[in-house]
Amino acid sequence: MDENVLNKLKILAESAKYDVSCSSSGTVRSNKAGMVGNTVGGWGICHSFAEDGRCISLLKVMLTNYCIYDCAYCINRRSNDLPRATLSVGELVDLTMEFYRRNYIEGLFLSSGVVRNPDYTMERLVRVAKDLRTIHRFNGYIHLKSIPGASRELVNEAGLYADRLSVNVEIPKEENLKLLAPEKDHKSVFAPMRYIQQGVLESAEERKKYRYAPRFAPAGQSTQMIVGATAETDKDILFLSSALYQRPTMRRVYYSGYVSVNTYDKRLPALKQPPLVRENRLYQADWLLRFYQFKVDEIVDDAYPDLDLEIDPKLSWALRHPELFPVDINKADYEMILRIPGIGVKSARLIIASRRFSKLGFYQLKKIGVVMKKAQYFIMCSELPMRTVNEMTPQGVRNLLVRKPKKKYDDRQLTLDFGEERE
Q: Which residues bind ligand SF4 (CB under 6 A)?
A: 67, 69, 71, 74, 76-77, 113-114, 181
Q: Closest distance between ligand SF4 and the C-beta of residue 289, in Å?
A: 26
Q: Closest distance between ligand SF4 and the C-beta of residue 114, in Å?
A: 5
> In terms of CB distance, is 66 or 100 closer to ligand SF4?
66
> In terms of CB distance, is 155 or 370 closer to ligand SF4?
155
Q: Closest distance between ligand SF4 and the C-beta of residue 49, in Å?
A: 23
> In terms of CB distance, is 166 or 364 closer to ligand SF4?
166
Q: Closest distance between ligand SF4 and the C-beta of residue 183, in Å?
A: 8
Residue 12 in contact with residue 111, Cβ under 8 Å? no
Say whether 108 sits in a helix, a strand or coil.
strand
> In terms of CB distance, is 108 or 360 closer to ligand SF4?
108
Task: Report the DSSP pairing between strands 55-56 and 48-49.
Answer: antiparallel
> In terms of CB distance, is 63 or 307 closer to ligand SF4?
63
Helix ranges (DSSP H) in 162-275: 174-180, 187-209, 234-245
> In terms of CB distance, is 66 or 377 closer to ligand SF4?
66
> In terms of CB distance, is 67 or 196 closer to ligand SF4?
67
Task: Report the DSSP pairing between strands 141-145 and 327-328.
Answer: unpaired
Say whether 205 sits in a helix, a strand or coil.
helix
Please, what's the b/e burial string for 106-137 (b: 16 or more CB within 10 A of its CB; e: otherwise)? bbbbbbbbbbeebeebbbbbbbbbbbbbeebe
Q: Closest distance between ligand SF4 and the C-beta of residue 69, in Å?
A: 4
DSSP output for 329-343: TTTS-HHHHHTSTT-
Say whether 311 sits in a helix, a strand or coil.
coil
Q: What length does the chain have?
A: 423
Q: Closest distance between ligand SF4 and the C-beta of residue 113, in Å?
A: 4
> In terms of CB distance, is 168 or 376 closer to ligand SF4?
168
Helix ranges (DSSP H) in 107-186: 118-130, 152-161, 174-180
CB burial of residue 139 (10 Å; 0-12, 13-18, 19+): buried
Residues in CB range of 405: below 8 A, 6 or more apart: none
- For 195, phi then psi, to 5°, come to -60, -40
Q: Closest distance between ligand SF4 and the C-beta of residue 96, in Å?
A: 21
Residue 307 in contact with residue 285, Cβ under 8 Å? yes
Q: Closest distance between ligand SF4 and the C-beta of residue 181, in Å?
A: 6
> In terms of CB distance, is 126 or 375 closer to ligand SF4?
126
| Cα–Cα distance, 76 to 114 (Å, whole number) | 10
Q: Closest distance between ligand SF4 and the C-beta of residue 65, in Å?
A: 7
Taking alpha carbons only, the member of 214, 323, 225, 329 closest to residue 278 is: 225
Q: Closest distance between ligand SF4 and the C-beta of residue 92, in Å?
A: 17
> In terms of CB distance, is 71 or 144 closer to ligand SF4?
71
Position 367: which residue type?
Answer: K
